[in-house]
Amino acid sequence: MNAPRNIFGKPSEDAVLHSDARARADAATGRTVPNAEVAAWLEKVGTPEEGPMPRRWLK
């Protein structure tokens, strides 16, 4: 059984390298979300207008 991951601990170097590689691959293929779109969604978090993160951001 795997030990629970500590979300507050420092990530391993392998984890950082892997996430960097995934982010670079996403950016290279155009899988990005415009900053203005993310900012508009974040401004609604914690308000009555809050909604879920758009599913299309996960494609």
Give 53's contacts (C-beta < 8 A, 6+ positions apart): 41
Instruction: Answer yes or no: is 42 within a domain.
Output: yes
Which parts of the chain fold into alpha helices (H)? 13-28, 35-44
Instruction: Answer yes or no: is 3 within a domain.
Output: no
Domain range spanning residue 17? 13-58
Instruction: Answer yes or no: is 24 within a domain.
Output: yes
pLDDT of residue 48: 96
How many domains does the chain divide into? 1
CB 32, CB 24: distance < 8 Å: no
pTM of the model: 0.60
Percent helix, strand and coil across the chain, each to the nearest 5:
50, 0, 50
Instruction: Answer yes or no: is 36 within a domain.
Output: yes
- Dist CA 48 CA 44 (whole Å): 8
Instruction: Answer yes or no: is 49 within a domain.
Output: yes
Q: Model confidence over 7-26: pLDDT tens digits? A: 788 888 999 999 999 999 99
Instruction: Answer yes or no: is 29 within a domain.
Output: yes
